[in-house]
Amino acid sequence: MALVGASGDAGKNTARPQRYLKKHGYAGRVVPVNPTRGEVLGERAYASVADAPDGIDHVFVMAPGEAVEQALEDCGKRGVPVMSIYSDGFADAGAEGAARQARLAARARQLGVRLLGPNSMGVVNLPGRVALTVNAVLEMDAPPAGTTSIVSQSGTMLGTVLSRGAARGMGFAKLVSLGNEADIGAGEVVDLLAVDADTRVILLFLETVRDAPRLAAAARAAHAAGKPVVAYKLGRSALGQALARSHTGAMAGSDAAMDAFFRDCGIVRVDMLETLVEIAPLLAGRKPPQLTRAPRVAVVTTTGGGAASVVDRLGLHGIETVAPGSDAPIIDLTMAATPQKYAATLDALLSSGECDAVLAVVGSSAQFHPQLAVEPILAARRTAKPLAAFFTPHAERSLALLAKAGIAAFRTPEACADAFAAYFAWRAPRVAPRLPQVERVSLEIPMAQSEVARGPDYAHSVPYPVAVKIHAPGVAHKTEMGGVFLGIRDREELLRAAKALPGKEILVQKMVSGLAEAIVGYRDDPLVGPVVLVGAGGVLAEVYKDYVLRMAPVSVAEAEEMIGEVKGLAVIRGFRGLPKGDARALAQAVSAMSRLALVRGRPVAEAECNPVIVKAQGVVAVDSLVVMKE
Amino acid sequence: MALVGASGDAGKNTARPQRYLKKHGYAGRVVPVNPTRGEVLGERAYASVADAPDGIDHVFVMAPGEAVEQALEDCGKRGVPVMSIYSDGFADAGAEGAARQARLAARARQLGVRLLGPNSMGVVNLPGRVALTVNAVLEMDAPPAGTTSIVSQSGTMLGTVLSRGAARGMGFAKLVSLGNEADIGAGEVVDLLAVDADTRVILLFLETVRDAPRLAAAARAAHAAGKPVVAYKLGRSALGQALARSHTGAMAGSDAAMDAFFRDCGIVRVDMLETLVEIAPLLAGRKPPQLTRAPRVAVVTTTGGGAASVVDRLGLHGIETVAPGSDAPIIDLTMAATPQKYAATLDALLSSGECDAVLAVVGSSAQFHPQLAVEPILAARRTAKPLAAFFTPHAERSLALLAKAGIAAFRTPEACADAFAAYFAWRAPRVAPRLPQVERVSLEIPMAQSEVARGPDYAHSVPYPVAVKIHAPGVAHKTEMGGVFLGIRDREELLRAAKALPGKEILVQKMVSGLAEAIVGYRDDPLVGPVVLVGAGGVLAEVYKDYVLRMAPVSVAEAEEMIGEVKGLAVIRGFRGLPKGDARALAQAVSAMSRLALVRGRPVAEAECNPVIVKAQGVVAVDSLVVMKE
- C-alpha span between B555 and B533 (Å, rounded): 13
Please name the helix (run of DSSP H) or strand (run of DSSP E) that holds residue B396, with its range, or none.
helix B396-405
Q: Are A309 and A393 in contact (CB under 8 A)?
A: no
- Give the nearest partner residue to B571 out of A244, A392, A539, using CB atoms: A539
Q: Do B335 and A13 touch (CB under 8 A)?
A: yes
Residue of B nearest to A413 (CA): B273
Q: What are A588-610's pLDDT values in tens digits?
A: 999 999 999 999 999 999 999 99
Give the distance from residue A607's alpha carbon to the nearest chain B alpha carbon, in angstroms. Answer: 20
- Give the nearest partner residue to B576 out of A156, A308, A480, using CB atoms: A480
Give the number of other CB atoms < 10 A from CB of residue B60.
30
Say whether A230 sits in a helix, a strand or coil.
strand
Residue of A nearest to B238 (CA): A315
Say whether A453 sits in a helix, a strand or coil.
strand
Q: Do B313 and A237 touch (CB under 8 A)?
A: yes
Amino acid identity at B340: Q
Residue of B nearest to A233 (CA): B309
Tell me the percentage of chain A whose pLDDT exceeds 90: 80
- C-alpha span between B209 and B526 (Å, rounded): 10
- Give the nearest partner residue to B305 out of A137, A157, A316, using CB atoms: A157
Per CB-CB distance under 8 Å, the chain B contacts of A305 are 153-157, 207, 247
Please give the pLDDT value at position A82. Answer: 98
- Give the nearest partner residue to A568 out of B364, B481, B540, using CB atoms: B540
- C-alpha span between A433 and A1 (Å, rounded): 45
Q: Which of B404, B308, B421 is nearest to B361 (CA)?
A: B308
Give the number of other CB atoms < 10 A from CB of residue A379.
14
- C-alpha span between B458 and B499 (Å, rounded): 10
Give the number of other CB atoms < 10 A from CB of residue B476.
13
Q: What is the mean pLDDT of residues A431-460?
A: 90
- C-alpha span between A543 and A545 (Å, rounded): 6
3-state secondary structure B253-302: CCHHHHHHHHHHCCCEECCCHHHHHHCHHHHCCCCCCCCCCCCEEEEEEC
- pLDDT: which is higher, A250 or B514: B514
Give the number of other CB atoms < 10 A from CB of residue B85.
29
Per CB-CB distance under 8 Å, the chain A contacts of B568 are 540, 543-544
Among A133, A237, A327, the residue to mutate for chain B (most B Cβ within 10 A)? A237
Give the distance from residue A567's alpha carbon to the nearest chain B alpha carbon, in angstroms. Answer: 6
Q: Do A164 and B393 touch (CB under 8 A)?
A: yes
Give the distance from residue B235's alpha carbon to the nearest chain A alpha carbon, in angstroms. Answer: 6
Annotate A495-528 with DSSP letters as a single string: HHHHHHSSSSEEEEEE----SEEEEEEEEEETTT
Give the number of other CB atoms < 10 A from CB of residue A53.
11
- Give the nearest partner residue to A315 out of B156, B160, B240, using CB atoms: B240
Q: Do A363 and B159 touch (CB under 8 A)?
A: yes
- C-alpha span between B271 and B423 (Å, rounded): 12
Among B237, B299, B481, B566, the residue to mutate for chain A (most A Cβ within 10 A)? B237
Please give the pLDDT value at position B481. Answer: 67
- Give the nearest partner residue to B311 out of A240, A479, A536, using CB atoms: A240
Q: Do A364 and B163 touch (CB under 8 A)?
A: yes
Q: Do B306 and A154 touch (CB under 8 A)?
A: yes
Amino acid identity at A176: V
The DSSP bridge pattern shows strands A547-551 and A529-536 to be: antiparallel
User: Which of A461-475, A488-502, B13-27, B464-478 has maximum average pLDDT?
Assistant: B13-27
Contacts of A353 (CB under 8 A, 6+ apart): none
Q: Do A272 and B368 touch (CB under 8 A)?
A: no
Q: What are A52-97's pLDDT values in tens digits?
A: 999 999 999 999 999 999 999 999 999 999 999 999 999 988 899 9
- C-alpha span between B202 and A623 (Å, rounded): 56
| Phi, psi at A99, each rounded to 5° | -65, -40
Contacts of B163 (CB under 8 A, 6+ apart): A364, A367, A392, A393, A394, B137, B140
Low-confidence ranges of chain B (pLDDT < 50): none
Q: Within A168-272, where are the H helices?
A: 186-194, 212-224, 238-248, 255-264
Q: Do B393 and A159 touch (CB under 8 A)?
A: yes
Q: Do B568 and A543 touch (CB under 8 A)?
A: yes
Per CB-CB distance under 8 Å, the chain A contacts of B239 are 311-312, 314-315, 319-321, 329
- Give the nearest partner residue to B539 out of A314, A328, A578, using CB atoms: A578
CA distances for B87 relative to A188, A297, B118, angstroms:
62, 30, 6
Q: Are A509 and A450 in contact (CB under 8 A)?
A: yes
Q: Are B364 and B373 in contact (CB under 8 A)?
A: no
In eight-state DSSP terms, residue B14 is G
- Give the nearest partner residue to A414 out of B155, B414, B544, using CB atoms: B414
Please name the helix (run of DSSP H) or strand (run of DSSP E) that holds residue B2, with its range, or none.
strand B2-4
Contacts of A519 (CB under 8 A, 6+ apart): A533, A534, A535, A536, A537, A538, A541, A547, A608, A609, A610, A611, A612
Q: Are A547 and A593 in contact (CB under 8 A)?
A: no
Say whether A37 sits in a helix, a strand or coil.
coil
Give the distance from residue A102's alpha carbon to the nearest chain B alpha carbon, in angstroms. Answer: 23
Please give the pLDDT value at position A364. Answer: 87
Say whether B546 sits in a helix, a strand or coil.
coil
Q: Are B558 and B549 in contact (CB under 8 A)?
A: no
Contacts of A463 (CB under 8 A, 6+ apart): A510
Among A156, A511, A575, the residue to mutate for chain B (most B Cβ within 10 A)? A156
Q: Do B157 and A305 touch (CB under 8 A)?
A: yes
Per CB-CB distance under 8 Å, the chain B contacts of A232 are 309
Q: Do A576 and B330 touch (CB under 8 A)?
A: no
Q: Report whether the peptide linkage leading into residue A553 is cis, meaning its omega lies within 30 degrees of zero.
A: yes
Contacts of A64 (CB under 8 A, 6+ apart): A5, A87, A89
- pLDDT: which is higher, A261 or B326: A261
Q: Are A401 and A374 in contact (CB under 8 A)?
A: yes
Per CB-CB distance under 8 Å, the chain A contacts of B315 are 236-240
Q: How many A-B residue pairs are in contact by the CB < 8 A criterion?
A: 258
Q: Do A273 and B309 touch (CB under 8 A)?
A: yes
- Give the nearest partner residue to B312 out of A163, A239, A539, using CB atoms: A239
Q: Do B243 and A312 touch (CB under 8 A)?
A: yes
Please name the helix (run of DSSP H) or strand (run of DSSP E) that holds residue A85, with its range, or none.
strand A82-85
Residue of A nearest to B567 (CA): A543
Per CB-CB distance under 8 Å, the chain B contacts of A337 are none
Give the distance from residue B345's alpha carbon to the nearest chain A alpha carbon, in angstroms. Answer: 20
The DSSP bridge pattern shows strands B2-4 and B58-61 to be: parallel
Q: Do B160 and A544 touch (CB under 8 A)?
A: no
Tell me the Cα Rg of chain A. Answer: 30
Q: What are A102-150's pLDDT values in tens digits?
A: 999 999 999 999 999 999 999 999 999 999 999 999 999 999 999 999 9
Average confidence score pLDDT of chain A? 93
Among B163, B177, B204, B321, the residue to mutate for chain A (most A Cβ within 10 A)? B163
- C-alpha span between A210 and A185 (Å, rounded): 7
Q: Do B577 and A481 touch (CB under 8 A)?
A: yes
- Give the nearest partner residue to A305 out of B156, B235, B313, using CB atoms: B156
- Give the nearest partner residue to A320 out of B239, B414, B571, using CB atoms: B239
- State pTM to two decimals: 0.95
Give the distance from residue B597's alpha carbon to the nearest chain A alpha carbon, in angstroms. Answer: 30
Residue of A nearest to B312 (CA): A240
- C-alpha span between A164 and A160 (Å, rounded): 6
- C-alpha span between B289 and B386 (Å, rounded): 10
